[in-house]
Structure 1
């Protein structure tokens, strides 16, 4: 099969993403730093408009080039969900809506994706099994979308990790012969990679919630598809283990400390690492390494206990190291 349609679609994704990101730099919706911010000067945000728009346009074009016909609901509903969440998140970047409103929109978008990904059950007898599968899928989508939003606090950390994870899923889908899903993951990776030079190592623009949540939902959708249809259903968890682990640890620690979980803070492991004196680019590169390591372990011919040990050992070591540094170098509550 000719690869020309896919190559053209990837070029469209890269050019559109970079062009729109450049345009968003000049729009000038600024992220003004506060006492919890990692940056020190006002910086434009909204670069995610380019990422999400490029993905949403390139994906149906690729589908038409590959199949010769318009995409069906299995593709259109996830696109509608991603577009809706991205639009709301862009408005939130400007107006800052309440946390419960954000969660409600995330839940609605996740429900749309779950409905089309799992498909409706045939007859009432299949409904309990459908619901048993739908709930974990729904929670996965909401948790990953929020985790990628929470982790978007250092230049290149979230966007680079998502780009590498997308490419990892594209490789998995390629090995499994899932052409449409491979192309979708590759296009998402291209849109994210085109944004990265604008954000790392020096940030000319941030993704904003429109990027971290819009692209986050797209990535979590592809991860759910991999869990359901690939020969390595653990791969999405392995690729995102560093990010998901950081967020889970932070939520648990803040919960036990009696902190409000919806309150902005600087208590993530990656934030503590920077506050303790580790250069921000080094922390970002380490998280990219976690993604690559997770992908390599996920595809390695090992049994699951060995995979888990190899996956978790460096992350546990990193967490203990950061906590030790935080106790020595950070004064006050963290």
Structure 2
């Protein structure tokens, strides 16, 4: 609990300073793009909240190493291998000029360093046909690099609403910390709890109304550390099913896989090209702010945090059974199938304007045909 408390306080204070002095560095830190296809905010907000999360994590890990609340060597190495992913995202936050390919390559480089420095290698996926090939080091290393980089970018994909990626990350890290406690893995548990506190300190400034965004740097850092902890947890503990890693992170992973399929196969567009058809965007536009006139800024702003609640509930379809049944491949596979079925059914309903009525409860229609005519006299 020391790591969680210290990282929370540190993150809260650093993020407060970022919010307080955002105007001084607004040219670099503010997100002024209010009309992008994936943008859902109504005013400029600093997008460097990841600095608060990373600063708090590093500070807590250093202090924890001094007081013996987390292993010194492994923790420092983990922070080192996470640096390329975070720095590439932060550079994009500040310059808006770092291509997705460069960020992907740097995340892969960090995963490669993790293999070398932490021995963090995917050695099994609990599928016999695939596990037979993972005995070959190049295959295992290649799969590790792809999966770690994939989850790193997946967390950035779902970072589209206030609190969406950050609270989802808190739930996943909380699950990882619990499973690590159950199997007695001090390193994984201490880092997971540190991440919970660091992200929670940021969330206070991001939800329900956003004074700061996590940014690419923060999302990449959270996703990368999450991926490394899962690889290490599965590697060290044979009683933890490899399916646990897939199911606890199934929301960001499946969102990413489905987005690639939708863009490449259905639309014939590059997978990296942004669009407004993510699940969270559809829920925001067609449920959370249903019928709201585009000029009603306050109502649109309220729809943003409301949309996140729907996605947190969806993420829990994977996180809860993963946390309860982390030793059972069969139950975890059933949970994965259940999530995929619910996701595809709900996406199909919303995109075809056939949203189930029970999802619309509490969202009242507002006249949308035109803005009120203030000059009209009766």
Alignment of 1:8 onto 2:2 = yes
1:234 paired with 2:258, answer no
Which contiguous aligned blocks of 4+ residues in structure 1 show a shift greater than 6 angstroms? none
Q: After superposing the two structures, state which structure 1 stretch, 24-33 or 296-305, moved more.
A: 296-305
Please point out which of 135, 143, 148 is paired with 1:136: 143
Q: Partner residue of 2:103?
A: 102
Residue of structure 2 equivalent to 1:248: 257
The answer (yes or no) to whether the contact 1:30–1:42 under 8 Å persists in 2 is yes
Seen in structure 2, the aligned counterparts of structure 1 residues 266 and 85 have a Cα distance that, compared at 3 Å, is: same
1:308 and 2:333 matched:
yes
Q: How far apart in 2 are the matches of 1:213 and 1:139?
A: 14
- Gap change, CA 1:311 and 1:42, over 3 Å in 2: same
**CA RMSD after TM alignment:** 2.5
1:66 to 65, 68, 71: 68
Quote the offset at 1:261 in angstroms. Answer: 1.4
SS at match of 2:287: coil
Partner of 1:274: 284
Matched, 1:165 2:172: yes
Which blocks of at least 5 consecutive residues in structure 2 are unaligned? 24-28, 122-133, 289-302, 356-378
Residues 9/325 of structure 1: CA separation in 2 closer, same or farther (3 Å cut): closer
Tell me what 2:363 maps to. Answer: none
The TM-score normalised by the length of structure 1 is 0.86
Q: With structure 2 as the length reference, what TM-score do the two structures score? A: 0.77
In the alignment, which residue of structure 2 is the partner of 1:48?
Answer: 50
1:282–1:182 Cα change, 3 Å: same
Give the distance between the partners of 2:95 and 2:65, measured in 1 at CA: 35
TM-aligned CA distance change 1:301 to 1:248, over 3 Å: closer
> For this pair of structures, how many residues does the alignment match?
316
Equivalent residue number for residue 194 of structure 1: 201
Mean CA deviation greater in 199-208 or 85-94: 85-94
Q: Give the corresponding residue for 2:214.
A: 207
Contact in 1 for aligned 2:12/2:201 (Cα 8 Å):
yes
Unaligned runs of 5+ in 1: 1-6, 121-126
Q: Residues of 2 paired with 1:174 and 1:301: CA distance?
A: 12
Residue 345 of structure 2, aligned match among 298, 308, 320: 320
Residue 52 of structure 1 deviates from its aligned partner by 1.1
Report which of the two has the higher share of helix: 1
Deviations 1:313-333 (Å, cap 9, x if unpaired)? 244224322322222289xxx
Write the deviation string for residues 292-316 of structure 1: whole angstroms up to 9, x where unpaired.
4423312238853443223432442
